[in-house]
Structure 1
Amino acid sequence: MTQQNLFLGIDCGTQGTKAIVLDASSGRVLGLGAAAHTLISGANGRREQHTQEWLDAFTEATHRALQQAGVDGQDILGIGVSGQQHGLVLLDENGEVLRPAKLWCDTETAPENDRLLQHLGGESGSLERLGVAIAPGYTVSKLLWTREQHPDIFARIAHILLPHDYLNYWLTGRAVAEYGDASGTGYFNVRSREWDVALLKHIDPSGRLEQALPQLIEADQSVGTVLPAIAERLGINPNAIVSSGGGDNMMGAIGTGNIAPGVITMSLGSSGTVYAFADQPNVSPQASVATFCSSSGGWLPLICTMNLTNATGVIRELFDLDLAGFNALVEQAPIGAEGVSMLPFLNGERVPALPHATGSLHGLTMTNLTRANLCRAVVEGTTFGLRYGLDLLRQTGLQSQSIRLIGGGSKSPVWRQMVADIMNTEVICTEQSEAAALGAAIQAAWSQSGEPLASLCDKCVSVDPASRTLPVAANVSAYQQAYERYQQLVATL
């Protein structure tokens, strides 16, 4: 029997935490576990979470994954953590969490973001200085908001961490960060890979925020080993190393083998993301393109839409449909939904850049107002947003031979065909849909063993040949017309 090299990959997302057990020798995922989180929602777009829920879900998901894998937790050699990006976790000098974490989807700090953007000289000033245009979801406006709304809490800040940094801190007792997730803070320069300390001094001239920043480490470096009490709680080996980890998009890139130019990863989750590896920081003049660092030693130009399966889910609930029923109706309607267009900007939108937009329906007549057309229009509308973003990425010189599709929406053959046709590119799914958790486990193996990342990805990331979907020429031209209609409607906003 071959020696197993076991690694744990954790993905702490908005809706829950996933854990996988990976055998890096065979490249096989042996077990999966999951546990849910709840969201604190308030007026003004407040979206927060209690960090204790993450720790409880981390523990529960790990126990379930180990149990399903049928392995001894003492054989785990390393852990990698993927986390939702941009969230703000504040600790005092005793390492206690000061308030609930403000999340990526929180828009309560939009006024603070506007003021910071003005200070930077608008989107072009922000792009020039940081390499990214700060958006309301980024971490930096959350710091200014905390200073203004909770001065008592602000005065006690000893550590400023992102969600995955906080989980690493809980595991090891060390406060560190890596370049990929740090790119989404809004106080980090993606070209020089350094914190922008002057921007934090603008928020608080005392220099306290600078002292609260975690130390930056390289993607292949480990944070440390698991604290004995936490190892016992998780039921794993206390000598297991904890890798640098990263943001969910950065880990999803590793988990889809997207670590060299040519591959594009597209995630059809609550929100939609499209990203690809680059070996140079080619910062796009388009503010919608975030040229983040990758967690594999390069860069990861990325676009994110705010409305995807959350928008299709609303229509599904409206008509009280299960997934199969919804997909059947989408298939019944013709391409272009007989002239019905939906701009599905139910959450505002980041790509196209319309933060204050709302959702709308266009082109309705007495004859085309059917459930099937509305179901198709919402899927087309969300996918056109991804096409809009992919076109922006292609303008930066990005080449795409194929799109690797992940996320809940990728399980639908109807949607896969739609993506292939709208993007006019071959689409294929990876075998493991939990790409971020897989990427985190692969990164842990890279950090622990020193085996090249490319050979680990070759071994651990496999595509599902049955999901391979090629564009159909007639569909491509039909969708092009519908897409041009979408662009005209967006232009009027």
Structure 2
Amino acid sequence: MERHLVAGIDTSTQSCTVVLRRLEDGAFVAQGRAPHPATTPPRSEQDPRDWWQALTEALGQIASHLPSVAAISVGGQGHGLVILDGDDEPIRPAKLWNDTESAADAALLCEQLSAAEWATRTGSVPAPALTISKIAWTRAHVPDALRRAEHIMLPADYLGYRLSRHAVTERGGSSGTGYFNPFLNTWDHELAELAAPGLAWDRVLPKIITSDAVAGTVGRLRNLESLSGAVVGAGSGDNMTAALGLGIREGDTVISLGTSGTIYAVTDIGVKDATGAINGYADATGRFLPMITTLNAAKVTDFFRRMMGVDTGRFDALALAAEPGSAGVVVVPYLDGERTPNLPGATGQVQGLRSNTSPGQIARAAVEGVLCSLLDGQDLLRAAGTRMTGRLILTGGAARSRAYQQVLADLTGQPVYLSRLDEAAAAGAAVQATAALTGRSTEAVATDWAPELSLVATPQSGIDAVAVRSAYQQAAARVRKQAA
């Protein structure tokens, strides 16, 4: 049978999604999805074997297409710490990006080198999210895990390793570890040594390959025999593959609303932010992806929706019917601590409540709080020199919310575009698989396969966005002062 399909995997916090695209033109063919175990910070961990089980289940849902798959690649949740022993078994559960137990360990790393030095060498300053902080936590709390380590890798690398039996990585995903230099595209073993002295870093870390390179081929895997021989791409972080799937251009701004929130843009010059607010990541095309990440996005509106006992449509209607600024009600959305700003011990707050506050005003404030938090990040990105004058693109699980779409347009004064691509990260991983198979660059394939964008919201007149954002910033400042 002719192999005319490519597969992209998104192994996220919540689930594993596999998207099949036609090699000829990138057209969608089929998809499968299986859940991952739920987690809640401060301890947020998953067994990597559960990711593999979810992947095999998702592939099983589209089994009839697998003999036609010519190449496969993985986009994975960033920062997660996978430690394997000599039998390639996980030594302990993987600490995920939103695990905040390593806050104290991150602070100790920052005492060993200045923030400016960290940013110059890695594009980021250690915080609980970064892999290096999780390694430092492991050394302090489970030292035997590191003594037994034969491989240390990221979630996307782990699934790629199980598919191909080659331990490799690339610059996009690795730029979130805290011990990779995205400006030189090399491991920085000296930084890794600060987290866990004496480890054979040149042996345990994956080999770095280019983002469009071939990692290997799929071997004969139980229940996946029909995939044997398919080319395995390098894999990357899920935000990096999402950028490929969306086909974003320099100047575009992307806001992703999932469990977490991200705002990012593609640039030719990397950002080195010593404040630690901006992560100066690499992307999967040879450029950079400076990003602000928050821990709390769609989970915030999901929380308030559940408290109100309404579905998403009714929640959106309530929020849109309320006045901007919600009559002085402000939601500071730090429900599970926060990453930007770095406040792992913070909690969410609702300020300005009165006896006549309506459910709609609270719904509106929740949406505004999530978006104001991300737009504060956009201000920081612009101040760092990131050009954000192009399209404003909304993606992620909550991107189809009418409330998020309209409130974002109102707060920014810009039209908001939505991709018709439902699974951008998985679709972008398929772009990467195609590049590995054909020898074309990931950027070229992403450009050719860029999805059509739909205009979903335009700014309404008479909205005082400055007042809404100012009220949020004052409320957030009070919470930061309490949590500091």
Structure-2-length-normalised TM-score: 0.94
Is this contact kept in 1: 2:284–2:442, CA < 8 A? no
Alignment correspondent of 1:470: 458
Alignment correspondent of 2:371: 383
Question: What residue identity is the alignment partner of 1:245?
Answer: G
Indicate the SS of the match to 2:116: helix
Alignment correspondent of 1:365: 354
Alignment correspondent of 1:98: 91
Is this contact kept in 2: 1:446–1:452, CA < 8 A? yes
Is this contact kept in 2: 1:432–1:461, CA < 8 A? no
Map Cα deviations across residues 292-335 of structure 1 (whole Å, 9 max, x no partner).
01011111001111111111111111111111111111122111
Query: Which of the numbers 480, 483, 490 marks the counterpart of 2:466?
Result: 480
Q: Distance in 1 between matches of 2:39 and 2:466?
A: 40
Q: Pairwise mapping of residues 265-280 of structure 1 onto structure 2 (< 5 A)? A: 265-280=254-269
Asked if 1:284 is matched to 2:273, the reply is yes
Q: Distance in 1 between matches of 2:337 and 2:284?
A: 29
Q: Distance in 1 between matches of 2:146 and 2:397?
A: 38
Question: What residue identity is the alignment partner of 2:67?
Answer: Q
Map Cα deviations across residues 407-466 of structure 1 (whole Å, 9 max, x no partner).
12111122111112212222111111210000000111011112343442244231243x
Indicate the SS of the match to 2:243: helix
Indicate the SS of the match to 2:106: helix
Alignment correspondent of 2:149: 157
Q: How far off is 1:283 after superposition?
A: 2.2
Q: Distance in 2 between matches of 1:281 and 1:29?
A: 33
Question: What residue identity is the alignment partner of 2:120?
Answer: E
Asked if 1:47 is matched to 2:44, the reply is yes
Asked if 1:21 is matched to 2:11, the reply is no
Alignment correspondent of 2:414: 425
Alignment correspondent of 1:295: 284
Alignment correspondent of 1:31: 30
Alignment correspondent of 1:82: 75
In the TM superposition, structure 1's runs of 4+ consecutive aligned residues that sit over 6 Å from their partners are none
Q: 1:204 to 1:53 in 2, by over 3 A?
A: closer
Aligned length: 477
Is this contact kept in 2: 1:105–1:137, CA < 8 A? yes
Indicate the SS of the match to 1:380: helix
Indicate the SS of the match to 1:31: strand
Map Cα deviations across residues 345-385 of structure 1 (whole Å, 9 max, x no partner).
11122223433322112222233x11111111111101101
* Consecutive unaligned residues in structure 2, runs of 5 or more: none
Alignment correspondent of 2:58: 61
Query: Which of the numbers 136, 139, 149 marks the counterpart of 1:144?
Result: 136
Alignment correspondent of 2:237: 247
Map Cα deviations across residues 101-142 of structure 1 (whole Å, 9 max, x no partner).
111111111111111111122x33422342211110111122
Map Cα deviations across residues 226-260 of structure 1 (whole Å, 9 max, x no partner).
012x2x522533221111110011111101102x4
Q: 1:4 to 1:237 in 2, by over 3 A?
A: closer
Alignment correspondent of 1:107: 100
Is this contact kept in 2: 1:23–1:30, CA < 8 A? yes
My pick for the range that moved more, 298-307 or 398-407, is: 398-407
* Consecutive unaligned residues in structure 1, runs of 5 or more: none
Q: Distance in 2 between matches of 1:21 and 1:52?
A: 23
Indicate the SS of the match to 1:80: strand
Asked if 1:491 is matched to 2:477, the reply is yes
Alignment correspondent of 2:380: 392
Alignment correspondent of 2:395: 406
Alignment correspondent of 2:438: 449
Map Cα deviations across residues 28-69 of structure 1 (whole Å, 9 max, x no partner).
11101100011355xx821111111111110111122345xx
Question: What residue identity is the alignment partner of 1:142?
Answer: K
Indicate the SS of the match to 1:18: strand
Q: 1:236 to 1:441 in 2, by over 3 A?
A: farther
Alignment correspondent of 1:257: 247
Q: 1:151 to 1:352 in 2, by over 3 A?
A: closer
Q: How far off is 1:490 after superposition?
A: 2.4
Q: How far off is 1:144 after superposition?
A: 1.8
Q: 1:203 to 1:270 in 2, by over 3 A?
A: closer
Q: Distance in 1 between matches of 2:11 and 2:197?
A: 33
Q: Pairwise mapping of residues 153-232 of structure 1 onto structure 2 (< 5 A)? A: 153-228=145-220, 230=221
Q: Distance in 2 between matches of 1:114 and 1:75?
A: 49
Asked if 1:437 is matched to 2:426, the reply is yes
Indicate the SS of the match to 1:468: strand
Indicate the SS of the match to 2:227: coil
Q: Distance in 2 between matches of 1:63 and 1:235?
A: 11
Q: Distance in 2 between matches of 1:285 and 1:156?
A: 34
Q: Distance in 1 between matches of 2:59 and 2:456?
A: 32
Is this contact kept in 2: 1:164–1:245, CA < 8 A? yes
Q: How far off is 1:481 after superposition?
A: 0.9
Q: Distance in 2 between matches of 1:419 and 1:131?
A: 28
Is this contact kept in 2: 1:431–1:461, CA < 8 A? no
Map Cα deviations across residues 134-180 of structure 1 (whole Å, 9 max, x no partner).
11011112212222222222211111010001111100111111111
Indicate the SS of the match to 2:62: helix
My pick for the range that moved more, 315-324 or 449-458, is: 449-458
Q: Distance in 2 between matches of 1:226 and 1:148?
A: 37
